[in-house]
Structure formats: C-alpha cells, structure tokens
Amino acid sequence: MTGGGPVALFSVWDYVVFAVLVVGAAGVGLFQAIRSRKNTSSDEFLLGGRQMTAVPVAMSLTASFMSGITVIGTPAESYRYGTAFWLFAFSYAIMTVFSAEVFVPLFYRLGVTSTYEYLEMRFNKVIRVIGTSMYIIQTALYTGMVIYAPALALNQITGLDLWGVLVATGVVCIIYCTLGGLKAVIWTDVIQMVIMLAGFVAVIARGAVLQGGLGKIWKDAQEGGRLDPFDFNPDPTQRHTFWTIVVGGSLMWASIYSINQSQVQRYISCRTMTHAKMSLYVNLVGLWVTVSLAMFSGLTMYSIYKDCDPLTNGDVNNMDQLLPYLVMDILAEFPGIPGLFVAAAYSGTLSTVSSSINALVAVTLEDFVKPVLPNLTEKQVSWMNMGLSVFFGGVCIGMAAVASLMGNILQAALSIFGMISGPLLGLFLLGMLFRCANSTGALTGLVIGLVISLWVGIGAQLYPPGPDKTNPLPLSTAGCLVDSNLTTLAPWTTTIHLTTPAPRPPLEDWYSLSYLYFCPVGTIITIVVGLATSLATGGCKKEKLRPELFIGKSDLICFGCTRDSTQTSELIEKIQPDGKQGIDNPEFCDIELETKEKDMDKITQF
C-alpha cells in the first residue's frame, strides 16, 4: 500500500456492480416517465408540473453540484493542498441565504420557466437572447468537460474504454431526460446522490481499517501540514485563502444557484415557495456532508501515501487519477467495491449531464422556439422537448471530444462559471436592485464585464500561476519500493522542473488573480458600468417599470416573518388570479398594469 507501482484493474464483479447501479439509477428516471406518460404538457416535462417537494429537489440540487470532476478532484485537492477547500462551507451558507431570500421570491412570484425570461421583462429581448446564448455556451462546454475529465482519469486507472464510456454516459442521460423530463432527472439524482456518498464512505472506512483508525488519519494530516485552512493573506493572487474562498467563492456559487437555469429550474418546480426555500436549506446540509466526506477521503489518501506519493513516483500522470488509483489499490481485494466507487464518480457525471440537458431544453424552448412559434400545440411542444433533449445530448458528447483536445481541463472547468456567470449575475442584480438601470446600460455593462472576465480567465489559462501562488504542500517518495531496473526518477523530476518555468507576461499579477475572483470581477464591472451608462443615458424615466420585477422588503426573511400571510396571499391572488406568470402571461397586459402596480406596491411596502 505504500510502495507504489501498478494496481489491479476492474474485475467481473466490479463491472456488474457498476452496471447495475448506473442502470438502476436510470431506471428510476424511466419509471417516472412511465408514471407520468398521460401528462405530456411542457410544464410537466420541464418543471415536474410544479408539484415537487423540498427533499428530493434538495438532493437533486446537491447531486447536480457533485459532478464527476468534484468526486475525483476534491479529494485530490485535499491531498495536495490541504483543507482550505473546507472553507467553502461558509461560502455555501452565504450562497444559500442569498439565493433563498433574494432570488427565490422573485422567480417564484414571476413563475418563469426560463430564468432569462426576466431579462426581457426588465430590459428587452436582445438582452434576453444574449443572456440565454451565454448560458448555453457555458453549459455545453462545461458539460463536455464533466463527461470527459472523469472518463479520462478512470480509463487510465481501471482500463474502462474511454470513448465507450463517453458515449454510454451521453446515451443513458439522453434516454431518461427525453422520456422522463425533470421528474426523471430529480428522482435519478436522488439515487445517484446516495451512490456518491456511499463511494466516499467506502474509501474512508477501508482507509481507517488499514491505518488503524480515523484518529491516525487525522494525526498524519496534521503532521503533514494539511489541517491549517485559515490563511488570512489578503493577496488576491493567492489561489486559496480565507478571503478568496469566502468572498469570491460565495459570489461564484451564488451565480450558479441564483441564476443558473439548471439550479433555478429545480426549486421553481416546487409546489410552494416554502418548499422552494426549504430545498435550498436542505441542500446546504447536503453540500456540507458531501464536501466533508470528499475532503476526508483526501486526508485518508494522504495518510496512506504520505511516504510514497504516486504522482511523484510516476504511478499516475496527474492529480485527478489519485483517488481512482487509491480505490484500486486498497479495495481491489473486495470484488464489487471498486465498481461502487466508479459508479459514484459516474453518478456525479450523469446527474450533472442530465441536469444540463434538461435546463438547455428549457431555455431553448422558452427563449428561442416559443417566441418564433407561439402557436405550437402541447403535442408539438412535447415532441420538441424530446427532440431537443436528443440534440443537446449529442452536443454534450461532442463537447467532450473538444474537451479532449484542451490542456488543464479541470482548471478550465473551475474557472468557466466565474468568467461567464459573473457578468450574468451582475446583469440580474443590476435589474433587480436599481430602478434607474436601463437597457443601454445593461447591455454595455454586460459586454464590458464579459470581455474583462474572459480576458483575465483566458490569460490565467495561458499563463498559469506558479507554486508561489498555488502553495502546494510537500510530498515524499522516501518510502517507495524502488525497482533497481528503473532509474528514471531523477530525469523525470528534472524534466518537470525544466518545463514548468515559462516566459511571464507583462500583466503577470493580473493573470495570477485567483480563479475565485473571476466572478466578482465580472459582477462588479457589469453593475458599475451598467449604472454609469444608465445614468448617462437618462435612466428609466420614460419606461413603466413593474414593481414585481424588483426585490422588495417583503422578499427578505427579516420582513417576511412579521407580515400577515393571509393578506399577502389575497393581494397576490388578486394580481395573479390564475396562478400563471411569466412573459406570456396575459395578466401583464397594459390595461390592467396600473391597477396591478398599486396592488404590488402594497406588497412591497412590508
């Protein structure tokens, strides 16, 4: 266990367990499709009929966050850099309160299907189309990375065929997304979440047995400098500090949970706003449990390999192969258990891919198809939903092929949300918080914010920061069993040393900015430029702005608890008697607008 070298590959039982778990999870989705076969409405397909409850939606939210990259990458992060990543627990808490108390009331009140409907309501159709297009590009590219990265790592460790797994992953997702819609995705995510957590528990339990208890693992981590997460260095170019994680990380995750269609689509599928908010708070517990198990898996790996690092020893090619290598090293003697771990990793991939496909279908249908073809029948919309699911499944598989040509894929996956979601979050906040913001300012702010965030993000990929910014912790090969016929250790180390230094760009510090600050940069620039341009172009004096498009005091938790819920319900029912909302809602007609504004003002006064 400490000498390095090759490890066993998959056994027959591992393949059986892997196949049964993955197919079984997909079968839950197909069951939901059969169960709901009589209701083929678009609302049922995309939002589960808006009848979902908090707990399954919460587990789906967590599973969507837990991609295969997270399952494999987070333990490797703990192994190489220590437990600073654990500070994301604070970021998740801030993000949850922000999303639940600011964005849920707004989206739930408007009853949108696509998040980007709001942009047309608040600004104009051009901004809605741009926002949707940015989301589609971001999601398709990220999903391709999610499919490819775990497949590459697991292929090289387990012997699973790379492209066979890539295509199989896409096909399985396409099947249950096409037939079952959002209900299939959510209930499949629930099963996949259980499988993922079981994979982590199996690694930790076996490691504890081998090392003589959890206390020994914790002691080794402490002696190895892995238990010092609180670095209060204010330098924004340091990869992980308390400030980059809590400040930058909170905004980055807020941009995902607050406005990302994959996440918003889940909580607006809940039957009441209370369920929607509760799903986010239950999801917070799931995120804490997940990141804790993932980090402790990494500490377990360090305890086992503290004297013989497989990466330095040449047993694996990159950090993302460390956990699969550990699994095959310590669990291969238990047939089927490695299969459980691989199923956990691919459950993360399946949940993320299925969520992305369903969200891409929703925004495409609502933002591109329906405005052009407004008279589609329910049957035509149903066929359109299924056709788009197949199309985007194919696109995601294709993007996995593109991702195979990219270097440093996992860093790109971590950065992409910040580069694109940051300006989008700024655009939404500009519209929700500032009544003076107009369409010209919004468009200008979005474009400039996106250009600058892409500039720093792409520059960081081309000129990655050095060890003085990333702060990797020391590893050892002193305990490795050396084969006398192999004398390549010194040349290997020298080669890495020679290829690491690269000509530094003139803006070295700018390109060394922590990837967690990409989102705040895009958000702040979008808001500041948007406000300045809006004020310079006359603000919104000529525009009639609906009060329900803004965040009011009644949306905040400290005010909501003091109001008369019966009175609120009566006011909202008066404004929205049929419960329908969104861009196509006839309740927004100009004839009744003035009356509704007065009623909504009563609500926002609280």
- Residue 547 three-state SS: helix
Q: Domain range for residue 277?
A: 53-405
User: Do 300 and 173 reside in the same domain of the chain?
Assistant: yes
**CATH number for 349:** 1.20.1730.10
Alpha carbon distance 268, 108 (integer Å): 6
Residue 515 lies in a domain: yes
Residue 550 lies in a domain: no
At 129-160, the pLDDT tens digits run 999 999 888 888 888 887 777 777 677 666 77
User: Do 456 and 582 reside in the same domain of the chain?
Assistant: no
User: Do 349 and 439 reside in the same domain of the chain?
Assistant: no
Domain closes at, from 362, 380, 405: 405
User: Do 349 and 211 reside in the same domain of the chain?
Assistant: yes
Domain closes at, from 385, 405, 425: 405
Alpha carbon distance 22, 429 (integer Å): 39
Backbone angles phi, psi at 270, to 5 degrees: -70, 155
Residue 253 lies in a domain: yes
Q: How far apart, in Å, are the Cα atoms of 292 and each of 39, 53, 87, 115, 128?
A: 40, 26, 10, 31, 38
User: Do 437 and 379 reside in the same domain of the chain?
Assistant: no
Amino acid at position 389, single letter = S
Number of domains the chain contains: 3
Domain closes at, from 405, 423, 446: 405
User: Do 412 and 287 reside in the same domain of the chain?
Assistant: no
Other CB atoms within a 10 A radius of the CB of residue 561 amount to 8
Question: pLDDT at position 494, please?
Answer: 31
β-partners of residue 270 are 52
Residue 42 lies in a domain: no
Residue 76 lies in a domain: yes
User: Do 292 and 436 reside in the same domain of the chain?
Assistant: no
Question: 229, exposed or middle or buried, with CB in 10 Å at 0-12, 13-18, 19+?
Answer: middle
Question: pLDDT at position 156, please?
Answer: 66
User: Do 574 and 535 reside in the same domain of the chain?
Assistant: no
User: Do 368 and 446 reside in the same domain of the chain?
Assistant: no
Alpha carbon distance 73, 67 (integer Å): 10
β-partners of residue 52 are 270
Residue 59 lies in a domain: yes
Residue 37 lies in a domain: no
Question: pLDDT at position 315, please?
Answer: 84
pTM over 0.75: yes
User: Do 323 and 266 reside in the same domain of the chain?
Assistant: yes
Question: pLDDT at position 19, please?
Answer: 81
At 79-134, the pLDDT tens digits run 989 889 899 999 999 999 999 888 888 888 887 878 888 998 889 899 999 999 99
Alpha carbon distance 237, 235 (integer Å): 5
User: Do 539 and 572 reside in the same domain of the chain?
Assistant: no
Q: Which residues contact 120 (CB under 8 A, 6 or more apart)?
A: 127, 128, 583
Question: pLDDT at position 504, please?
Answer: 59
Nearest one of 484, 410, 526, 552 to 67, comparing CA atoms? 410
User: Do 421 and 400 reside in the same domain of the chain?
Assistant: no
Residue 455 lies in a domain: yes
* pLDDT averaged over 10-residue windows placed end to end, the chain, 606 residues: 64 83 70 59 48 71 71 86 90 92 86 85 91 88 79 71 74 65 64 80 92 92 88 88 92 88 79 86 89 92 90 82 86 84 73 76 83 80 81 82 62 76 93 90 95 89 78 81 45 36 62 89 95 87 74 60 40 41 36 42 43
Question: pLDDT at position 119, please?
Answer: 92
Q: Which two tokens stand for residue 236?
A: 């924004």
